[in-house]
């Protein structure tokens, strides 16, 4: 893929480098099918949940168990690889600047961000309801879990566009050849 023909804004060297990086096909076998892309998204979500859980244990448990930091550090490698696979599968839909996207990509980015916003809103409502209900049952809101819950929702809010984009990514016309070679 070369510079988009639609835009009248010149791409910077950074834009051209990122465009080249996000359209590099060397790792295409990792995301060439919808099943592989969805597996990458599911793995990324699971790793995010495990890392978040480990960090919650680290901060809430007495004595701050250092093993959680070590396991978290180890899990960041596959988390980073999964992030790269999703970004490559979406051709940098969320990483590239708007001027580096063509009209189709720009419209898809808008759809992805809108869907992500709706999903995150539902999660915020669910989190607030859970805290209010548990507080109503106990007579006191579980304050120790409020901060981790808010941080978890913030992380999900940050990553939801990536997950939605990876889940919605379509097969490219020549991807059948990549799967056969991979």
Of 99, 103, 107, 115, residue with least CA distance to 167? 115
In 10 A of CB 179, how many CB atoms? 13
Which pTM does this prediction carry?
0.80
Rounded to whole angstroms, the Cα distance separating 62 from 65 reads 8
CB 40 within 8 A of CB 85: yes
Cα of 146 vs its chain's centroid, Å: 23
Rounded to whole angstroms, the Cα distance separating 80 from 83 reads 5
What pLDDT does residue 73 have?
Answer: 96
First to last CA, the chain: 21
Going from N- to C-terminal start, the domains of the chain cover 28-91+102-170
Q: Where do the H-state alpha helices sit in the chain?
A: 13-22, 34-60, 67-89, 103-138, 143-168, 175-181
Q: What is the mean pLDDT of each run of 10 residues along the chain (182 residues)?
A: 58 90 87 93 97 89 87 96 94 91 92 95 87 76 76 91 93 59 53
What pLDDT does residue 119 have?
Answer: 93
């Amino acid at each position: 893929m070369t510079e988009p023909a639609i835009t009248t804004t010149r791409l910077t060297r950074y834009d051209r480098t990122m465009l080249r990086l996000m359209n590099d096909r060397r790792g295409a076998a990792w995301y060439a099918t919808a099943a592989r892309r969805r597996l990458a998204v599911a793995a990324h979500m699971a790793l995010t949940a495990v890392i978040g859980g480990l960090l919650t244990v680290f901060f809430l448990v007495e004595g701050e168990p250092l093993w959680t930091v070590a396991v978290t550090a180890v899990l960041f490698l596959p988390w980073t690889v999964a992030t790269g696979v999703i970004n490559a599968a979406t051709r940098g839909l969320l990483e590239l600047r708007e001027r580096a996207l063509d009209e189709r990509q720009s419209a898809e980015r808008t759809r992805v961000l809108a869907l992500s916003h709706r999903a995150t809103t539902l999660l915020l409502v669910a989190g607030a309801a859970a805290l209010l209900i548990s507080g109503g049952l106990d007579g006191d809101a579980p304050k120790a879990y409020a901060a981790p819950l808010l941080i978890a929702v913030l992380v999900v809010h940050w990553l939801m566009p990536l997950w939605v984009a990876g889940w919605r990514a379509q097969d490219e016309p020549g991807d059948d050849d990549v799967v056969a070679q991979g």
